[in-house]
Amino acid sequence: MNDDILSAVPDKIHILPEDLSNQIAAGEVVERPSSVVRELVENSLDANATRVEVELLDGGAQLIRISDDGHGMTPKDAERAIQRHATSKISRREDLFHIASYGFRGEALPSIASVSKFELITRTKDTWEATRVLIEGGSIKLVEPWSAPIGTTITIKELFYNTPARRKFLKTQNTEQRNCIQALEDIALPRPDVGFMLTVNGRKILDLPAVDNIWERIASIEGYDNAKHFFPAPPAEQDGVTAWGFVAEPKYTHRHASGMRIFVNGRAIRDRTLMAAVRQGYETLVDRGRSPIVYMFLSVPLQDIDVNVHPAKAEVRFRHPQAVFRALRRSVKNALIEAPWVEGNQKVRPEDASKTWNYPQSSRPEPTAKTVDPLAQADLSLWSQVPTRGYTLQKDDPVRFHGGTEEKGDDSAREENARTSVDRPNQSGPIVPAPASAESDAVPTPGWFQSLHYIGPLHNLYLLLSGPQGLVVVDQHAAHERITYEHLRKQDRNRPPAVQPLLIPHMITLNAQRALTLHDHIEFFHELGFELEHFEGNDFALRATPDWFGQRNFERMLIDALDDLQDQGETELVETFRDSILSRMACHGSIRAGDKVSADEVRQLLQDLDRVDFGANCPHGRPVYLSVTLEELELRFERR
C-alpha cells in the first residue's frame, strides 16, 4: 500500500541533459569574448606553442580565431577534448595542490562549444593529416580528416547565439575589444619567449614577437620611449616567496588601479591586498587618487598557492599571504628608495637588467613540491649592485594591510608636494588669458578677485592676498584649473577653435588599448583643437594644439582622457562624461602646485576668475580660495 502511494508521487529531482549542464558551466567559465581568448590562448601555451595568433570580428561576438604552432592533438584526443572534464593536465587528487599549467579543469572547450558554432582543426608532428571537428551548440556535427600545419586552430563563431540573454549582456564592440587586448597582454607579459599577434576587424592591433626578456616585452607593449621610465625592482625574498619586476617613475601614474599589473607564477592576478603592498612600497610618492604603474612578478611555491578557488581562475588563495605581501612591498620600496630616475642615482638601468634576465625557454614548471614559476630561475646576480640601505624588513615586522580596499577617486588635480622634486611635473607655461564670458559671475561680488591686493606666494602652492575683510588664500592650481575648464567648455561648444601648429610634430606612442580608443575618438580631440594624425602602428603625431594650451604636457593629459573615454564610452549621458573628460584635460592644462607664478600672471589669474562661471570652485568641487576675516585674526592674536 505504502509502495503504491509512493510510486504515485512524481519525482522532482532529475539529471540535467548534457547540453544544458555544459551551458551552465559556460556561464561560469565563459563570461565574455575575452574569457574565450584567455582560455584558448592558455591552452596554446600549455601545448608548448611558440607563436599564437588571435583574430577578432565585432569585438569577438561574431568571430574569435586562435591559431598556434603547439604540439596539436591526435584524432582521438581531439574528440575527447570537447567532452567535459577531459584534460591532460592532471590525473590525481594530489595534482590539484601543485598546479603548474594554465588550464587543468577540462571545462573550457566543451563550455565554449556549447554556446557557439565551434570548429577545431588540429595536427601533431607525427601525423600527415589533421583532424577537423565541427560542433554547434554543444552537438558534434562532423569529425573528418583535414589538411593543416602542425598545431591547433580553433574558430568560435556567433558566441552566445543560442543563449540570447547572455549575448544581450555583452558590452559594446569597442569595450569587448579592449577586454580581449587586456587578456592577451596579461598572458603575453610573463611569456616573452612566445610571439603573439592580435588582429581586430582585419587591422593588426598587437604584434609581439618573441624576445629575450620581460623588459623587452614591456617595451613592445608600452613603447620603448615609455619603457625607459620603468626601473628594475630588485628581487625580495620572504619565506620562499620571491618578488621582482619593474616600477614606473612616480610622476608617471594612472588614475585607475589597472596600471598595477601583478603576476603570480605567470598568472595575472587582480588582488586588492597585493595592490595595497605596491601602494605601501610607493608610500607618499604618488598623489592621492592616483595609482602607480608597475609590472611585478611573484614566484610562490606551488604547494603554497591554490588556483582552484574560482572557475575562471580570476582569484587565487595564498597559504602565507603575509609573506607574499612583504616580499612585494619590499621589492617595490627597494626600487624607489634611491630615486633611480634622478641622474647620478641610476645604479641599474632597465636596459642592463634586460641583458641579465633571460626567461627560460621551457614551458611551465614541472609540478613538484619545491618548484616555483620559471621567472624565479632568472639570473639575479645583477642585483648585487642594488643597494638596500634604509629598508630592511624583519621577519616579524607588522604588515599594514589596507583592509583589502583600493583608494578611489577621479581627482587627478590634487596638489603636489612642492618640496618633493621627484613628483613635480615640468614647469608649465605662462597663464594664458581666458576669453571674457558674457554669462553671469559666480564669485562673491562681480570683480571681487580683481579687487584683492597680491602679497606673495606661499610654498608655490598658494597665493596670499589681502582684501577689505581680511586675508584671502587662493589655491593656484584649483583657480587656473577652473579657468582652463571653462575655456575648454566654451571651445567645445563653439567649434572650431583657434590652433597653434607645432614647428616639429610631437610623436606619441600609446599602448594597444589607448591607440584603439584614440582611433575611435580622434574627432573629439580635433574639435578641441588638438590635431592628431595616425602615423603607424600605435604611434600618433601631434601637429597642433589649441592656442591657449602653451607648452604643457599633452601626452599625460591624452592618456588620462583616453582612459576616461574607455571607461565612460558605454553611457548614454554623453554630455556629463564629456565634461568629466574636459575637467581631466583642464587639470593637465593648468599651472601646478610647485610652479612659480609671476605677479603679472597672478593679476591675469584674478581677472579671469572674475570672468568665468563657478570661479569659487575647481571643476572637481574643491574650493579655489579661503578667506580669514580680520575679526578671526584678532581673536587668534588675543586682540579681542
Same domain? For 456 and 500 the reply is: yes
Interval 83-99: pLDDT, tens: 765 554 444 444 444 44
Domain that holds residue 321: 214-409
pLDDT at 407 over 50: no
Q: Say whether both 373 and 497 belong to one domain.
A: no
Q: Which residue has the higher pLDDT, 118 or 441?
A: 118
Q: Are residues 474 and 607 in the same domain?
A: yes
Q: In the structure grid, which three cell numbers stand for residue 278, read together?
A: 605596491
Show the beta-strand stretches assigned E in 40-99: 51-57, 63-68
Answer left, alpha or beta for residue 444, where phi above 0 means left and psi between -120 and 50 means alpha.
alpha
Q: How far apart (Å, rounded) are the C-alpha atoms in residues 292 and 305?
A: 26
Per-residue pLDDT, 85: 56
Q: Is residue 138 part of a domain?
A: yes
| DSSP three-state, residue 278 | helix
Cα 80 from Cα 73, distance rounded (Å): 10
Beta strands 63-68 and 51-57, pairing class: antiparallel
CA distance 48 to 360: 13
Look at residue 427 and tell me whether its pLDDT is greater than 50: no
Average confidence (pLDDT) over 221-242:
88
Cell 573528418 belongs to 144
Q: Is residue 6 part of a domain?
A: no
Q: Specify if 3 maps to a domain.
A: no
Residues 392 and 460 in one domain: no
Q: What angle do CA 42, 47, 49 make, to 5 degrees?
A: 85
325 and 397 in a common domain: yes
Residue 416 forms part of a structural domain? no
412 or 126: which carries more pLDDT confidence? 126
Domain boundary among 203, 234, 264: 203
What is the pLDDT at residue 579? Answer: 60
pTM: 0.67
Contact 157, 263 (CB under 8 A): no
Dihedral sign (CA 83, 88, 91, 93): negative
Q: What is the pLDDT of residue 251?
A: 81
Kindly report the length of the chain. Answer: 640
Between CA 561 and CA 559 the distance in angstroms is 5
Q: Into how many domains does the chain fold?
A: 3
Region 109-138: mean pLDDT is: 92
Q: What's the pLDDT tens digit per position in 576-629?
A: 445 656 666 666 555 555 577 788 888 888 887 877 776 667 666 678 888 888
Q: Which CATH number do you get for residue 162?
A: 3.30.565.10
**Residue 279 placed within a domain:** yes
Backbone angles phi, psi at 109, to 5 degrees: -60, -50
Angstrom distances, CA of residue 632 to CA of 233, 268, 627, 635, 636: 51, 56, 10, 5, 6
C-alpha of 539 from chain center? 19
Instruction: Quote the cell numbers at residue 361.
Output: 625557454
Cell 621589492 sits on residue: 331
In a shared domain, residues 513 and 589: yes
Whether residue 227 is found in the same domain as residue 336: yes
* Domain CATH number, residue 254: 3.30.230.10
Average pLDDT over residues 457-466: 85
Per-residue model confidence (pLDDT) at position 257: 83
Residues 243, 286, single domain; the answer is yes
Instruction: Please list, in sequence order, all residues whose beta carbon lies within 8 angstroms of the beta carbon of residue 621, skipping any fewer than 6 positions away.
Output: none
Task: Name the amino acid, one letter, at 397.
Answer: D
Q: Is the pLDDT at 167 greater than 90, yes or no?
A: no
Average pLDDT over residues 508-529: 85
H-state helical runs in 383-535: 476-493, 512-527
Evaluate whether residue 8 is within a structural domain: no
Quick one: average pLDDT of 37-44? 92
Residues 469 and 509 placed together within one structural domain of the fold? yes
- CATH number of the structural domain spanning residue 573: 3.30.1370.100
DSSP H or E run through 456 = strand 453-458
Say if 229 falls within a structural domain: yes
